[in-house]
Amino acid sequence: MSSFSIWLLLEKESRSNYRQIVKTISKRLKAPNFEPHCTIYGHLNTDIEILKPFVTELAKNYNQFSASVKKIKSGDSYSKSLYVSIKNSGALNQLNTICKNKFNRLKKYGFDPHISIAYGIYSKEEIYVTTKSLIIPSHVVFNGLSIVKTGKNVKSWETVFQRQF
């Protein structure tokens, strides 16, 4: 069984801005490049055919929406080493609650809305030097959902299904 995550897709301008941020940070830290996203629910070890109709229906019930960006943060884990924290309100919270109600019995997932900008383990000094001149937009706009086959190797992640709002 594969592990899947449900991601929020960034609309064109937000995606372009965050792709550039990820690309810049990836070069500076020699980190893997990846598609910017906000994980609504992750680490689901289930059949993709269970997820597809759920995501399709979920996408039908939402319109494009924006969320406020709080600040750049760092952590001690590979998967949450450098990220932009997002205010959890409105549609973000609703989407996660719907996913939690559906999948909590399969996998508990602690939701902390964010957009990762680097994966890896870095010192506080590396993070400071890398991010000191970084300009982060004050809002991010989302316009769809995707199902991504994930795993420990960021370069092997694969979008297997997506729907626009």
7 closest CA partner among 136, 117, 160: 160
pTM, full prediction: 0.93
Torsion angles phi and psi, residue 113, rounded to 5: -60, 125
Q: Which domain holds residue 83?
A: 3-164
- pLDDT of the residue at 151: 86
- The CATH number of residue 137's host domain is 3.90.1140.10
- Tell me: the pLDDT tens digits for 117-128? 999 999 999 999
Place of tokens 């801005």: 17
- Tell me: the pLDDT tens digits for 7-39? 999 999 999 999 999 999 999 999 999 999 999
Average pLDDT over all residues of the chain: 95
State how many domains the chain has.
1
Tell me the two tokens of residue 86.
């997002």
- Return the DSSP state at 52: H
Q: Are 134 and 12 in contact (CB under 8 A)?
A: no
Q: Which amino acid is at 87?
A: K
